Structures are given as C-alpha cells and as structure tokens.
Structure 1
C-alpha cells in the first residue's frame, strides 16, 4: 500500500470512528426500554456472527458449569451476549448522560460503606455493568483506575473523556506501574480495581476459579498492605430498568499477617467473585479467556 493510500485509509478509519462515537452518544436520548430492546437485538446478531468469541464463551461455561448440559450452556451463553450488548449500548449514558440522569438509572446500595476519609480499594469484578457503576460513583468522589490504551485514538479519547467528565477521576496506564497507583490511593482516591482477568504468569498464583486452576494476580493484597486501604467489594448488577451498585462490607483483617503473595488471598478474592457469579451467571464477562495461562506443562484449555 502506498503512503497516500495509507493516509486515506487512516482518514477513513478516523471518520468511521467519529461517526460511531457520535452514534453511541446520540443513543442517550433514546428511551431506555427501547435501548434495551435494541441491545437484545444486537446481542442476538453478535451471537450468530462472532464465532470465535462464541466458542470462548461456551468453553468457559463448559469449564465453570460442568453440571450443565450443552443446551443449558447455549442458553446461558446467549443470555450473556444479550446482556453484554445491552451494556455496550448503555455506555451512551454511562459516558455522556448528565449526573441527574445517571442517578435515575444507576442506584447505589450501602453508599455508607465507601469511606471518604481513608484509603479504599473497590474490588470490582468484570460484570457487564461495571462501566455504569464506575460512572455513577465518579459523580462526587475522587477516584482512580487503570485503563488500557485503545488501539483507535478516537475511541480512546471518547472513553477517557466519558470516564473523566465529572472532574474527579484519574486514569493510569499499566506502564506507570505500582508506584503511581499507591500514590493515588494514599491521596484518598478510591481505586476502582478490576483484578479478575488473566494477566499472564507474572505476579500471579494458580488458585481455583469456579473449580479450575486460574492465574490470579496478587495485586489486591499487595496494594492493601502497602496503602493500608480498606477493601470494599463493589458489584454492579444490570436490572430490567437500569443498574444497581452494591457496596459490600469491608473485608476484615485483609491481608492480615500473611505475605501478599500467599495464595490464600487470591482464593478469598476468587471465592467472593464465584458467589456473585452464581447469583447472576449471565452477567459475568465470559468472552475473556480467563484460563489462557496454564501451569507449566499443562496444555491449553482453548
């Protein structure tokens, strides 16, 4: 491809990205019941066309719910992709709606469990509503989180602008390392932490997740020890008419006297997430290859 063709393709990609961002932002004016119906339709389409991701979803469900037969896993997988598609369209208000509109659609349970006067880590597993939860919590609370840079700069800017629009947030990159996160937590920014993915073998231990050994990072215990932060689990549940953010009681004696890389901490985190998954299995992020990293000598599960 010539340089002029590359420039043309790049300009076309930017124009398409701007159009997509504008379309998503415009969806915030669509009545929410209609937006949910559109999400259901999009989810049905994605299930049919996204073959590789569909296979990942079904494989994850096979590993995590061996008691279900193939038909039940298929139904659960379809329900999950519908929920995921709804959440994608709901970013139209999560990233651009007014504070008043957000509070109407996203309710917070037990706000009193979020301390304002000491360091806190919000353990926020990958359920489909996590962006809606982060949005409503960011309205009037200093916070920080880690964000991966999007490959498309237009999308990257739109996501960053949406997450930071209330002026209380700080988005860090993984390249900034642990020191930047520790500093932000000590500055009393609530750390919205999503540690329940497969980040590879580094700083990970293998502990069960839904009965399957999974590479689980030890960052939660490490950060809690370094900052003396309260660990408050935070789970966002999609409902028929919006979302509910539930703040759970602060974990007592965490990490205690055990070293932060002790597998007991990772097991405790995974056990909490498993309990929430069994309450709403269709809302967990099954499109991620959670079991990609395997113990030495063990073949791939995918």
Structure 2
C-alpha cells in the first residue's frame, strides 16, 4: 500500500501543474524515447510500419516520434484528469462534435453503449460523460490490487461506476442498459485467451472482443465511438462522438467485430499520432497462442 500511496501523491502533485506544461514536458520525454532504444519505440515502430505501409520511411518516422510524444502526454496528464475538479476539467473541453446524436439517443431511455478506444485522452472521456449521464464502465483489474485503488479513486467520480471484466461485471452492464443508462467499454484491447475472434484492424488480423457487439445485439441499444482529441500547446481537448456501423450488431461474430474495428480505425485515422501505438495490439496471432515475438521481434537497435 505504501507504493500505491506514493504514486497517488505523485499524481496529485501532477494535477497541480498547468496542462500546457504537462504536455510540453511529455513532448520532450517522447522526443527522448524516439532517439534511444527502448520497448516503447520498438513496439510503436513495428505497429506504424505495419499499419501504414503507404507512408514513406520518413513519414513513418515522423509518425513514430509524434506517437511517442503523445504517449508521454498520456502518462503525465493522467493525474491532472483524475485529481482535478470536474469544473476545471470541463473548461478544458473546447468543443464537442456529435453531442446532439448522443443526447438524442439517451433521450429515448433505452440506454447507450460507448466504445472509447485508446485514442487521445480517453480518461477525460469518462469524466466528461460521467458529468452528464450515469455511466457504468468496464475495466480490467490490475495485477497489483493496491494500484487498482488509485485507478478507482481517479475514475469513480461524478456519476461513474466501474465494474470488473468478469461475469459479475457483465451482468451489471446488462442491468445498467435495462435501466436506460450508459455503458462504457474500451473496444481495442487484446481479449484474454479463450475469448474474442480475429478481425481486420488496419488490414491486419487482430484478436478482437465480442462482448461489446453481443451486448448491443442482445439489448438493441445504439453504439457510439467517443474519443477526446488533444489540442496543440495544451489548450485542451475536442470530444468526437460518432455512431457505429449497423453491422456491429450482426449475429456473425467476425462481421460484428470487423465493424467495430472499422469504427475504431476511422477514429484513429483522424488523429493517428494520438493512438496508443506502444500497445501490443497484434500480440495474439491467428496461428495460436504465444506467437507475439514473431510480430514484435526484439532488436537491440530498436
């Protein structure tokens, strides 16, 4: 618990730092990550090269550097998002695109599913939506329970409830939707072994969750992709809300997962440098388990 407390105090200190300063420091840290061999650079480089083959080598390198800078901004702004007042955070949301679509869907009283990918500042998406609607978000518990304490402390604010990725959590998601409320899920995590299907993401087969499409199909509620784009120089964020393709509720699991990945990809292509390319999205391969090294080989030079 001592370690968790120290991390909490550090995050609370970061919450006092102006956002432009945090983003400037994050940009500098990302620049350093780009120039020295490390796993963040290695994984980001592989993902960018595989997902954007149409770019020149120079364009790929630029995207890699920008992505690493955004990754560091994500790390440094977490405390700012978790431990600042709602009023101060909402002042950083400079505009919202598609908010009328979400409001109209919620007004029908049937509930809504939010798919928020690891794009831009996904932490502020939870604070933004939780201020407006009761929302139940699915989260994957940490292997360190003490560290979970901090994440729950930062995320369970306003009207936000968090439930774990287990049978009990899934039941709570169904209950939330039956009450006409909102559910939030990160759609782009590699699901645990034994679940999910392979569907194309940037033209590459990616292990993809089926929970979100099945949840939408069984309840008949609409799905929206939501992400918060960082604005330059720490000026704040823009919220983007986009309706999902109708195929996301297909009875064919692969077709539904493909529609979901297509929606995530469309969001990413708007601001590709702000996606979490340092994550091993393609770690699990169709050939079987444990083939990660073949997609993400280790190289002392990267």
TM-score class normalised by the smaller sequence: 0.7 to 0.9
1:247 corresponds to 2:234: no
After TM superposition, list the pairs within 5 Å mapping 1:1-302 onto structure 2. Answer: 14-47=1-34, 51-106=38-93, 107-114=95-102, 115-116=105-106, 117-166=109-158, 168-175=159-166, 176=168, 178-200=170-192, 202-240=194-232, 241-249=235-243, 251-252=245-246, 255=249, 258-261=250-253, 263-296=254-287, 300-302=294-296
Deviation at 1:155, TM superposition (A): 2.9
Q: TM-score, normalised by structure 2?
A: 0.85
Cα separation, 2, equivalents of 1:153 and 1:206: 31
TM-score (norm 1): 0.85
1:160 to partner: Cα distance: 0.5
Q: From the superposition, tell whether residues 40 and 295 of structure 1 become closer, same or farther in structure 2 (CA, over 3 Å).
A: same
Which segment drifts farther, 43-52 or 69-78? 43-52
Q: Report the counterpart of residue 6 of structure 1 in structure 2.
A: none
Q: Is the 8 A contact 1:222 1:260 kept in 2?
A: no
Q: What are the superposed Cα offsets for residues 35-92 of structure 1, whole Å, 9 maximum, x if unpaired?
A: 2212212323444567122211111111111123444322211211111111222122
More displaced, 137-146 or 37-46? 37-46
Q: Could you tell me which runs of 5 or more consecutive residues in structure 1 were left unpaired when the two chains were aligned.
A: 1-13
Q: How many residues align?
A: 285
- Contact 1:200-1:293 within 8 A present in 2 as well: no
Change (3 A) 1:27 1:119: same
Change (3 A) 1:204 1:297: closer
Shift of 1:171: 0.8
Give the secondary structure class of the aligned counterpart of 2:162: strand
Per the TM alignment, residue 251 of structure 1 is displaced from its structure 2 partner at its CA by 4.6
Task: Check conservation: 2:197, 2:207, Cα contact below 8 A.
Answer: yes
Show CA shifts across 1:95-115 (max 9, x none): 111121111112433322223
Q: CA deviation at 1:142?
A: 0.4
Give structure 2 stretches of 5+ with no counterpart: 297-302
